[in-house]
Structure formats: structure tokens, C-alpha cells
């Protein structure tokens, strides 16, 4: 493509920002429990589902990080969602098929998926 105007440049910038967005460190954070227990319970599959969802929805400013075991091993896979300025919500027994609704209601619209919540932290 050839940039023919300021608008072209701005458009390209928005596209390009998606490539480097996670280095800026803002936006929603999703934390997946990746201790041995988490991995045994299928955290890798959940992680893959999360990344698939991210790509499908083109959410470039969502940060996906991992954490270790927090001692609630029977509730693994644990996934935390932290929207800036809101409570940290922990979901338990997350299956890959739950990921889509966590995204559509919580990550994007701020509506907590109550039936799989195990904790709400300030």
C-alpha cells in the first residue's frame, strides 16, 4: 500500500498499534493459572482458546499473562479477569468452551459471568 494522505497514515497506525499494543501495558488483563495443577487441568487448552478469541475479535490491547498455583488446585483451571479500575474476578473450573462468553460478556462489556465466579478481589 502507498500512503497518500494523513488519513492513510493514521489508518496504518491503528493497524500497526495492534502489533505492539501489549508492550504499552494498558487495557484488560487476563491471568491464567499455569501451575502444574493448572496445566494438568487443561490450562494450555484454555490458553489456546483465549488466544483464539483474542485473534478472532482483534483485541490488541488485552494482556494475557500467567501465574503459578495459588492453592485452589481443585478449582483449576483458574482464570482471572482484571478490567482497569475494577475488581479482580477469578473464574474457576474454566473449560475452553467457557472462554467465549467470558470475552463477550466480561472482557468486552464488563458483565461478570456469575455462574463460574469463585472469587472477587479488590
Partner 1 sequence: MQLYRGHVLVCGGTGCVSSGSKKIQEVMANELTKQNLDKEIKLVETGCHGFCEMGPIVIVYPEGTFYCQVQVDDIAEIVSEHLLKGRIVQRLLFKAPVTEEQVPSYKDIAFYKKQHRVVLRNCGHIDPEHIQEYIAREGYEGLAKVLTTMTPQQVVDEMKKSGLRGRGGGGFPTGLKWEFASKSPGPKKYIICNADEGDPGAFMDRSVLEGDPHSLLEGMLIGAYAIGADEGYIYVRAEYPLAIKRLKVAIAQAEELGLLGDNIMGTEFSCQLHIKEGAGAFVCGEETALMASIEGSRGMPNPRPPFPAVKGLWEKPSNINNVETYANVPVIFLNGADQFATLGTEKSKGTKVFALTGKLRNTGLAEVPMGIALREIIFEIGGGIMDDKKFKAVQIGGPSGGCIPEQHLDTPVDYDSLIALGAMMGSGGLVVMDETSCMVDVARFFLNFTQKESCGKCTPCREGTKRMLEILQKICDGKGVPEDITTLETLGAVIKNTALCGLGQTAPNPVLATLRYFRHEYEAHINDKKCPAGVCSALLEYKIVADNCKGCGACARVCPAGAITGEKKEPHEIDTSKCIKCGSCIEKCKFNAIVKG
**Residues between 58 and 77 with contacts to partner 1, criterion CB under 8 A:** 58-60, 63-68
CA distances from 45 to 32, 93, 105 (A): 11, 13, 21
As a whole number of angstroms, the distance between CA 63 and CA 26 comes to 8
| Residue indicated by cell numbers 489508518 | 11
Total site size for partner 1, rule CB under 8 A: 40
Backbone angles phi, psi at 88, to 5 degrees: -85, 115
CB of 81 to partner 1, least distance (A): 14
User: Where does this chain bind partner 1 (CB under 8 A)?
Assistant: 1-6, 8-9, 12-13, 15-20, 22-23, 25, 29, 31-32, 34-35, 39, 47-48, 50-51, 54-55, 58-60, 63-68
Amino acid at each position: 500500500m502507498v500512503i497518500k494522505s494523513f488519513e492513510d497514515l493514521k489508518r496504518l497506525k491503528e493497524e500497526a498499534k495492534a502489533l505492539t499494543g501489549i508492550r504499552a501495558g494498558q487495557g484488560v488483563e487476563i491471568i491464567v493459572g499455569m501451575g502444574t495443577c493448572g496445566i494438568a487441568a487443561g490450562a494450555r487448552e484454555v490458553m489456546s482458546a483465549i488466544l483464539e478469541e483474542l485473534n478472532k475479535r482483534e483485541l490488541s490491547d488485552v494482556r494475557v499473562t500467567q501465574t503459578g498455583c495459588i492453592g485452589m488446585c481443585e478449582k483449576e483451571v483458574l482464570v482471572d479477569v482484571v478490567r482497569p479500575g475494577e475488581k479482580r474476578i477469578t473464574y474457576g473450573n474454566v473449560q475452553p468452551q467457557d472462554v467465549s462468553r467470558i470475552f463477550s460478556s466480561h472482557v468486552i462489556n464488563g458483565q461478570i459471568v456469575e455462574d463460574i465466579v469463585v472469587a472477587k478481589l479488590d
